Amino acid sequence: MLKPFITSVNSAGEEWLSAPAQEFVYIKTNTKLTQPELEKIQLLEFQRAITPELAHLNFSTYTAHTPPKPDFKIMRGDVKVGLDLVTFAYKDRRRIQAQFSEVKQMFVDEFLKGRIRQYQWFEFTLTFSGDALRYPKKIKPAILEIIHVLDAIDINYGLLNSINYQLWDDTKELPPVIYAPKLPYPILVKITDKSKSVELIISGYQQYPSNRFMLQYGFDVTHQHHESFKLNEIKAIFDQRISDHDKEEYDELLIVAGGPDQNGIGNLDEPEAARSFINWDGKIETPKHLKRVVLFNWPHKTIHILHEAS
């Protein structure tokens, strides 16, 4: 279930976007995509999203280039256009997402060693302390400590599927049996490492796997991270990205919001932030050299022209 994105106004009249980090897999890949491979995927996805109303943005062929040239030379009729491609992203969000990908891999590694094999169609939700996010070296020992506790839990599936819901007091020791109702709303059993860097909640139990990861390993791991941003800060990110690529040799700039990274993973808060900016104001600082700036919102398959020279 997707969590809500909330726009609010504070006492100073500043508009904020409250956005929970929500990642999902765009591209199934066994190896990390190269930057040119990723840019080609993004360009072609943009082309597929072009509607008849925006037919003048379409192109017939493209050729990839390397810096300092623009990423692509595209052909529109007989006109060759230098198009550069960038992503709209929060660096901290991408860093946190990369950290979580490493954490998820730790669960896989321990599973492959024969641990936590007793979990069949369970969901684990992780929450990281601000201290752990600032000092990621604390995360690995905390996760290993939590996995050690998870591995020691003996699950009685007969009881799990038959008894009534029972809410355990947080002050009690971790129960040897996880109780849940017949519907997939289990007790929120919490496990926290000694340093209180990471908290894991056994947040779900269901009769069937809900995704490929759960089908393969028996469980799924998600994380909670929530921040708020001023909408004028989001505008500043757009302006900075455009300024960095406002060069004489570039004709057009394509900004991709919410697209996958080189691991094929996307983040829903980025396209929602971009959409909120469009709904809020949608105006950028006018570039000096770029003839056109286009925003492509990957999940929503929408295209917005932010700047077009007359």
Residues 46-80: pLDDT tens digits? 999 999 999 999 999 999 987 778 999 999 989 99
Q: Rounded CA gap, 197 and 126, in Å?
A: 10
> pLDDT digits over 246-289, tens only?
999 999 999 999 888 887 877 777 888 888 889 888 889 999 99
Q: Does pLDDT of 12 surpass 60?
A: no
122 and 204 co-located in one domain: yes
Q: Rounded CA gap, 70 and 58, in Å?
A: 18
Share of the chain above pLDDT 70, in %: 76
Question: Which pLDDT belongs to residue 168?
Answer: 39
143 and 255 co-located in one domain: no
For residues 96-124, give the mean pLDDT. Answer: 88
For residues 75-96, give the mean pLDDT. Answer: 86
- The residue segments making up the domain with residue 115 are 92-227
Report CA torsion sign: 207, 210, 215, 216.
Answer: negative
144, part of any domain? yes
220, part of any domain? yes
Structure token digits, residue 238: 């757009």
192 and 248 co-located in one domain: no
1, part of any domain? no
Residues 212-221, buried b or exposed e (16+ Cβ, 10 A)? ebbeebbbbb
Q: How many domains does the chain have?
A: 2
Of the CA atoms within 13 Å of residue 38, those in its CB half-sphere come to 21
Q: Does pLDDT of 164 surpass 80?
A: no
139 and 219 co-located in one domain: yes
74 and 60 co-located in one domain: yes
Question: Which pLDDT belongs to residue 227?
Answer: 62
The string of DSSP letters for 176-202 reads SS----SSS----EEEE-TTSSEEEEE
Q: Does pLDDT of 179 surpass 50?
A: no
> 3-class DSSP state for residue 259?
coil
End-of-domain residue from the set 203, 227, 251: 227
The overall pTM is greater than 0.75: no
Give yes or no for a contact between 297 and 254, defined as CB atoms under 8 angstroms apart: no
End-of-domain residue from the set 158, 193, 227: 227
Q: Does pLDDT of 1 surpass 70?
A: no
